[in-house]
Amino acid sequence: MLAATIRVAGDIDLAEECVQDAFSKALTTWPKTGIPDRAGAWLTTVARRRVIDVLRRQSTHDRLLVEFVEPEERAKALEVEDPIIPDDRLRLIFTCCHPSLSIETQVALTLRLLCGLTTSEVARAFLVTESTMAARLTRAKKKISTSHIPYRVPTAEDLPARIEAVLSAVHLVFTTGHTAPTGADLMRRDLVERAFELARMLRVLLPEEASVAGLLALMILTDARHRTRTGPDGTLLLLSEQDRDQWDLKAIVEGTVLVRDALQRPLPGRFALMAAIAAVHAESPSWEQTDWPEIIALYDLLLVAWPSPVVALNRAVAVGIAEGPEAGLSALDELASDSQLAGYNYRASARADFLRQLGRRDEARGAYQEALTQCENEVERAFLERRLDELARGDRE
């Protein structure tokens, strides 16, 4: 809805307001008339008509269309047939990922506008405060408006310069859906499916781009085990506890083919390396047979391609599994001064687990409690609380 409405509005804030107006109208109209067969099209048409009314009153409609919407799109912008098409989402993601914006801002704006994440959720994905992210998003939207950044998919010549930010945005959409930052459910399937739609569209758009193949492979291989991430009672299951017979074998085959394709191309990039790590897990017959030295070697390559604190954290966990909890704890403690990981619950929970394995129960308890204060997903919180209960029972015994 938002993507289609922006094409008429030429202004992000105005489009967001009109989309909200459409939902408000639905709340008063649908209880009387019933929900339309094509509810999405109904809402989008109402939002777009609201935009046109506002623009006419402001006497700025023609000016805004000239500044923001490409000339060949002007006539299409006023059509009222079902406008919810992938092209509108692609236009929006490429507008958000314009090179005049910083990479982090491009990705954050995409998460906020294209995926409907709250400012708080976007801030959490970037490990910054909500106020910092709110200011960043406001500045980005203002720059799009004042710089007259066009609302269109770039030409073939411009695509390579824009693709890295687009892929980063799609990846964050997927990871935010794969493990929801907040709420009662471990996953948000709506975001996972939206990320898949975008990734597959980009694969069609750029079939020779290794990074696109790598991202799609990473998503497919990661999602192949989504059914086994929780038990029948909804409790979180670690990778070592999952029933691999229930993993999606067809998806694993598709993902590994894409990984090989990406790795054989020049400059495969970070997503191909991340997909290669996921492939090692997916193809391992059991937890015990996982090739951890290969995973650590891939993380070493990934740190060169993408020196991220989260990658360093994941590598430290792999070291702890391969070489023992003492080695893992030492690798984690090397990251203690990284401010980006200070409020990251996975660092605290990984540290807690290594301390638990080493029998340092009081320190483990403190680390689990720290992780709890940083975690807002109820499934993950229940797992951490269960670990604390196990430590308490051990103390009594």
pLDDT digits (tens, 9 = 90+) for 26-50: 999 999 999 998 998 899 999 988 9
- Which amino acid, 227? R
Among 105-109, 153-157, 305-309, the least confident range: 153-157
Residue 75 has pLDDT above 60, yes or no: no
Q: In the prediction, which pLDDT does 118 show?
A: 83
Work out the average pLDDT over 313-328: 97
Q: In the prediction, which pLDDT does 84 show?
A: 41
Contacts for 291 with CB less than 8 Å, ≥ 6 apart: 280, 284
Return phi, psi of residue 266, to 5°. Answer: -60, 140
Choosing among 3.40.50.300, 1.25.40.10, 1.20.140.10, 3.40.50.1100, the CATH entry for 307-397 is: 1.25.40.10
Per-residue CA distances from 10 to 3, 5, 49, 91, 212 (Å) = 11, 8, 14, 12, 29
- Which amino acid, 229? R
Q: In the prediction, which pLDDT does 83 show?
A: 41
Reported as a single tens digit per residue, the pLDDT across 169-222 is 889 889 989 998 888 899 999 889 989 988 998 898 788 889 999 999 999 999
Q: In the prediction, which pLDDT does 366 show?
A: 96
Inter-helix orientation angle 130-146/119-126, to 10°: 110
Residue 345 has pLDDT above 70, yes or no: yes
Inter-helix orientation angle 292-305/269-283, to 10°: 170
Instruction: Identify the bridge partners of residue 377 per DSSP, sorted by sequence position.
Output: 183
Q: In the prediction, which pLDDT does 59 show?
A: 63
Per-residue CA distances from 60 to 18, 40, 57, 64 (Å) = 16, 27, 8, 6
CB 37 within 8 A of CB 55: no
Per-residue CA distances from 130 to 118, 185, 360 (Å) = 10, 22, 35
| pLDDT range class, residue 122, cuts 50, 70, 90 | confident
Residue indicated by tokens 């079939």: 207
User: Higher model confidence: residue 257 or residue 266?
Assistant: 257
CB 299 within 8 A of CB 274: no
Contacts for 231 with CB less than 8 Å, ≥ 6 apart: 237
The tokens describing 199, both together, are 């990734």
Alpha helices (runs of H) in the chain, residue ranges in sequence order: 2-9, 12-33, 39-58, 61-68, 74-77, 86-96, 103-114, 119-126, 130-146, 159-178, 189-205, 210-223, 249-263, 269-283, 292-305, 309-323, 325-333, 345-357, 361-374, 378-396
Looking at the chain, the whole-number percentage of residues with pLDDT higher than 70 is: 92
DSSP 3-state assignment of 258?
helix
Q: In the prediction, which pLDDT does 61 show?
A: 53
Per-residue CA distances from 222 to 251, 259, 359 (Å) = 9, 12, 32
Structure pTM?
0.79
| pLDDT range class, residue 80, cuts 50, 70, 90 | very low
CB 4 within 8 A of CB 22: no
- Which amino acid, 24? S
User: Higher model confidence: residue 277 or residue 207?
Assistant: 277
CB 302 within 8 A of CB 295: no
Reported as a single tens digit per residue, the pLDDT across 348-384 is 999 999 999 999 999 999 999 999 999 989 999 999 9
Kindly list the domain boundaries of the chain, sorted by start residue. 1-84, 85-206, 307-397
